[in-house]
């Protein structure tokens, strides 16, 4: 008997079919990866297993955990099963944790809610579990709060909560999407080790096929609420039968060819930039300290050049981005765009600000959902000294939407009416509409599934040829940076430790940190080699 057996699971919400005859199994100690595009039904399959479906849900079929059908189990009994027999790790650790409770209290709460253990004993058990997931007490005491930890450390706390009672089944829903490559590698190794050490079944939900290929024993491919293909990892990779599976893996390894850069001078110049932040005083009457986030950072971007910026969380990428965009001042050094300083004294230079735009990671969170697209993409107009006339405004909106593969009529819709990839296209249209000299792409494809990401990369190539785009592309996805940039900067602890032509840096990295980053990045297997 399998640990988890889902048989012909169908789900509808308010009468709308969502899942259709989904069947899969997870054995004890086995890692099963469920993959597919956004909207394929991966997360709802996991939520159905946890008994966390929204109101109005109707299910048929069976979800059996050690022979017990969870679909017919009462809510009271399900509360005993969640955390005790099934643990779940969610995608975004900051929203999964309570910001006003210490990490020790949150892990201990999971333990106490399922037993009669005293608070002191529960805290001792919490300390043991946190140590097991890589947060030893000498460095990460139980009294710390979530905001005092990095993204990877928060995810470790969420994992500690999920495994505190050694559940039989652990469900991980996109647990590494927002993490940099080295932290991602650590979290994936931790999950695999826990599955082996505790003999747990691990149901891993992800759209990262490189991760799937590397750690899963079995792969389940879902599309539009159905399982289209599943099997042992090596067997499936060497003999993919369904066209959708083939398309997913082709999109994951998608490569683009950027147009040649015409001879040009430097557009953006960053010279010896230093950025300090004050740190809290350690005693009541003590003085504040200083943390140096940027340490004499220098580089240039030529007009028409596509520059990549990579590094772990906390390396200074976001601080550098805010300084370039004129959102934060610097203590020393200078940043100029086309020869003009980004800051004039202590105030941002608005003449320079209107020459730069940014595309953010979350295409939905970067828009006001109450406004139509026509207003959303014209927000940069407030930077212009002379506002366009109504007729000019209409033409600019139509031109920007058409350039990113949308239709001018989309201007009259709300942002919730679009898919994730379409929202990111609209975000790019907003950045393009005033024809800036420089665009900053801040993790602009990290939240997208592989096929949509491939479309956005193709779009950037087309726009580079059409508009001679100059951009700074910030990402923790090294495979994307490798194909979409001409040069790359590698940042560590507020310093540029290596820079050069992208392919040269990836092929023969000189700095040990660059070598570590590249080694940590998951890589798709050579499918032709597997077939042989």
pLDDT tens, residue by residue, 509-528: 999 999 999 998 888 877 55
47 to 42, 172, 298: CA distances (angstroms): 9, 11, 48
Is a pLDDT exceeding 60 seen at residue 360? yes
**Can you read off the two tokens belonging to residue 155?**
């995810």
* pLDDT digits 0-9 by tens, 9-20: 999 999 999 999
pLDDT for 279-294, tens place per residue?
Answer: 878 788 888 888 899 9
- Percent of the chain exceeding pLDDT 70 equals 98
pTM for this entry: 0.84
532 in helix, strand or coil? Answer: coil
Q: Which CATH class is domain 4-252?
A: alpha beta
Note the pLDDT of residue 527. Answer: 59
Quote the CA–CA distance of 69 and 73 in Å, as a whole number. 7
5, pLDDT greater than 90: yes
Measured between alpha carbons, how far is 375 from 370 in angstroms, rounded to an integer? 10
Q: Give the model's pLDDT for residue 297.
A: 95
pLDDT in the model for residue 365: 80
Structure tokens belonging to residue 503: 């392919």
- Given a cut of 60, whether residue 145 has pLDDT beyond it is yes
- Which residues have CB under 8 Å from 23's CB, separation 6+? 6, 7, 8, 9, 227
Q: In DSSP terms, which residues pair with 357 in a beta bridge? A: 439
User: Any residues with CB less than 8 A from the CB of 171 and at least 6 apart, and which?
Assistant: 46, 49, 50, 86, 87, 88, 89, 202, 203, 205
Q: Are 239 and 207 in contact (CB under 8 A)?
A: no
Pairing mode of beta strands 218-223, 31-35 = parallel
What whole-number distance in Å separates Cα of residue 521 and Cα of residue 499?
A: 18
User: Which tens digits make up the pLDDT trace of 225-246?
Assistant: 999 999 999 999 889 999 999 9
pLDDT band at 305 (very low <50, low <70, confident <90, very high): very high
Least confident of 168-172, 174-178, 364-368, 401-405: 174-178
CB-based contact 514:489 (threshold 8 Å): no
Other CB atoms within a 10 A radius of the CB of residue 428 amount to: 27
202 has pLDDT over 60: yes
Helix axes of 151-163 and 103-112: crossing angle, nearest 10 degrees: 20
Nearest to 442 by CA among 431, 450, 454: 431
Q: Is the pLDDT of residue 1 over 80?
A: no
What are residue 87's phi and psi, to 5 degrees? -110, 155
| Per-chain mean pLDDT for the chain | 90
Backbone torsions φ then ψ of 302, nearest 5 degrees:
-80, 155
Distance CA 329, CA 235 (A): 55
Q: How far apart are CA 381 and CA 280, in angstroms?
A: 39
CA distance 85 to 74: 15
């Amino acid at each position: 008997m399998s640990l988890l057996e889902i048989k012909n699971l169908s789900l509808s919400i308010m009468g709308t079919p969502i899942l259709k005859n989904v069947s899969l199994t997870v054995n004890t100690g086995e890692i099963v990866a469920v993959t597919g595009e956004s909207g394929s039904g991966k997360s709802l399959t996991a939520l159905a297993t946890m008994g966390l479906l929204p109101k109005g849900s109707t299910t048929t079929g069976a979800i059996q955990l050690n022979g017990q059908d969870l679909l017919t189990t009462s809510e009271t009994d399900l509360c005993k099963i969640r955390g005790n027999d099934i643990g779940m790790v969610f995608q975004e650790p900051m929203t999964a944790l309570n910001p006003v409770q210490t990490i020790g209290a949150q892990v201990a709460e999971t333990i106490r809610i399922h037993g009669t253990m005293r608070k002191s004993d529960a805290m001792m058990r919490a300390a043991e579990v946190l140590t097991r997931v890589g947060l030893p007490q000498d460095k990460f005491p139980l009294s710390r709060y979530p905001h005092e930890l990095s993204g990877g450390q928060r995810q470790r706390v969420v994992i500690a909560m999920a495994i505190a009672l050694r559940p039989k089944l652990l469900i991980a829903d996109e647990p590494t999407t927002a993490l940099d490559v080295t932290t991602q590698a650590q979290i994936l190794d931790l999950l695999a080790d826990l599955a082996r050490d505790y003999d747990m079944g691990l149901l891993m939900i992800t759209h990262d096929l490189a991760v799937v290929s590397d750690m899963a024993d079995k792969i389940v491919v879902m599309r539009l609420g159905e399982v289209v293909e599943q099997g042992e990892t090596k067997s499936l990779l060497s003999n993919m039968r369904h066209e959708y599976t083939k398309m997913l893996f082709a999109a994951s390894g998608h490569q683009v060819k950027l147009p040649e850069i015409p001879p040009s001078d430097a557009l953006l110049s960053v010279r010896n930039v230093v950025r300090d932040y004050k740190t809290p005083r350690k005693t009541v009457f003590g003085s504040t300290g200083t943390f140096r986030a940027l340490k004499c950072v220098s580089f240039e971007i030529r007009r028409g050049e596509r520059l990549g910026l990579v590094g772990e969380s906390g390396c200074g990428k976001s601080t550098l981005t805010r300084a370039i965009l004129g959102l934060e001042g610097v203590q020393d050094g200078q940043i100029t765009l086309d020869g003009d300083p980004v800051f004039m004294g202590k105030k941002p230079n608005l003449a320079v600000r209107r020459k730069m735009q940014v595309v953010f990671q979350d295409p939905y969170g970067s828009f006001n959902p109450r406004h139509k697209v026509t207003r959303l993409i014209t927000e940069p107009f407030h930077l212009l000294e002379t506002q366009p006339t109504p007729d000019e405004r209409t033409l600019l909106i139509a031109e920007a939407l058409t350039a990113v593969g949308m239709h001018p009529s989309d201007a009259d819709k709300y942002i919730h009416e679009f898919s994730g990839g379409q929202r990111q296209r609209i975000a790019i249209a907003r950045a393009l509409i005033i024809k800036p000299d420089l665009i900053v792409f801040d993790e602009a494809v990290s939240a997208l599934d592989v096929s949509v990401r491939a479309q956005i990369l193709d779009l950037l190539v087309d726009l580079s040829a059409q508009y001679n785009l100059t951009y700074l592309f910030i990402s923790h996805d090294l495979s994307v940076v490798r194909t979409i940039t001409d040069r790359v900067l590698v940042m560590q602890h507020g310093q540029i430790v290596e820079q050069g032509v992208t392919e040269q840096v990836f092929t023969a990295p000189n700095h040990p940190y660059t070598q570590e980053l590249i080694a940590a990045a998951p890589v798709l297997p050579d499918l032709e080699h597997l077939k042989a």
